[in-house]
Structure 1
Amino acid sequence: MSRIGKQPITLPKGVNVEVAYATVKVKGPKGELNVPIDPEMKVKVENGSVQVERPSEQRRHKSLHGLTRTLVANAVKGVSEGYTREMLIKGIGYRAKLTGKNLELTVGYSHPVVVEPPAGITFEVPEPTKILVKGIDKQLVGQTAANLRAVREPSAYHEKGIYYADEPIKLKPGKAGTTK
């Protein structure tokens, strides 16, 4: 049996979960999320917790069991606490600033790159070299951060670019000069 799927999801104060046919609606203080789930999976809400059960021991149901539980748990955490992804910018003259809701990046191109946040995502720039991507949907926060990183990926030779704060940067040595 799935070790992750067996664990109940405790609901924090102020979070409501409703189960419809193939979706789970999670409402909380930060917003509302709809989680699509497989119609065969059974989601039960009782005594302030959510339990996910699978209908059989088929391989497909086993693989969906832990996935469904994790998706619902991520939605519960998102509407109660929210998700934040911290990104850093390294490079001479590289910086970020907010213009309204949009993020303006100066990262070595001939023009500044303007990034519009998708619905449900907000950008914060506490320092010119630090960006915070915030939202309630874990997948959307991660995808937006990946799109930002793709604007100027970290260089393995020059230690420049946009990268995650917890991402280790491995510098490669440049070409060694020939010795005589």
Structure 2
Amino acid sequence: MSRIGKKPIEIPKNVEIKIEENEIEVKGPKGSLRQAFDKSMTYELEDGVLTVNRPNDSKKIKALHGLTRTLIYNMIVGVTEGYKKELEIVGTGYRASKNGNKLALNLGFSHPLELEDPKGIIVEVPAANQIVILGNDKQQVGAYAAFIRGFREPEPYKGKGIKYVDEHIRRKVGKTGK
């Protein structure tokens, strides 16, 4: 058995789950998420505990077993607590600002980048050098944070660019004089 796949998922009291064949919908205080999974998996919901079962022990099914359980767990955490990614902007003149539902980034290009917030994601700018991305879908929050970071990834000499708050940039020494 998959170690992760065989773990039961405890459903909080304020979360509602609907299982329709291979689609699972999770509703909670922070919204609702719906996702389709592989048709071979079966689900048992008893007394606030959801278990994911697999039909056989083929290599593909074993891999899908743990993945399915983790994705369902992430959906439950998303509708109860939500997900958050924090970005930090380092560099002279690099800054971010928020205009309505648009994020304006000044990153040393000839013009500021204007990005509209995707559906289901909230972008906050508490300071000119900080960006906070909030949402209930873990994949969407992480993908949008990586998209923003991709405009100016941190460079190894001065560390200029957009980085995650908990990210450590390995620095290089650079040129040495005579």
Question: For this structure pair, what is the TM-score category when the shorter chain's length is used for normalisation?
Answer: over 0.9
Question: Residues of 2 paired with 1:166 and 1:108: CA distance?
Answer: 24
SS at match of 1:44: strand
Question: Residues of 2 paired with 1:156 and 1:102: CA distance?
Answer: 30
Question: Residues of 2 paired with 1:81 and 1:44: CA distance?
Answer: 24
Question: Within the alignment, does 1:19 sit opposite 2:19 as a pair?
Answer: yes
SS at match of 2:35: strand
Question: Residues of 1 paired with 2:173 and 2:47: CA distance?
Answer: 58
What amino acid sits opposite 1:35 in the alignment?
Q
What amino acid sits opposite 1:100 in the alignment?
G
Question: Residues of 1 paired with 2:45 and 2:76: CA distance?
Answer: 13
Provide TM-score, normalisation by structure 2: 0.97
Q: 1:93 maps to what in 2? A: 93
| Deviation (angstroms), 1:95 | 1.0
Q: Deviations over 1:13-72 (max 9, x none)?
A: 210111112211111111111122100001111111111111111111111110000000
| Deviation (angstroms), 1:143 | 0.3
Q: Tell me how large the CA RMSD over aligned residues is.
A: 0.9
**Size of the alignment, in residue pairs?**
178
SS at match of 2:157: coil
Q: 2:28 maps to what in 1? A: 28
Provide TM-score, normalisation by structure 1: 0.96
Moved runs in structure 1, 4+ residues, more than 3 A? Answer: none
Question: Within the alignment, does 1:134 sit opposite 2:134 as a pair?
Answer: yes
Gaps of 5+ in 2: none
Question: Residues of 1 paired with 2:110 and 2:120: CA distance?
Answer: 30
Q: Deviations over 1:113-146 (max 9, x none)?
A: 1111111001011111111001000000000000
Residue pairs, 1:1-180, within 5 angstroms: 1-177=1-177, 179=178
Question: Residues of 1 paired with 2:17 and 2:69: CA distance?
Answer: 13
Q: Deviations over 1:120-177 (max 9, x none)?
A: 0010111111110010000000000000001111111121100111111111111223
What amino acid sits opposite 1:85 in the alignment?
K
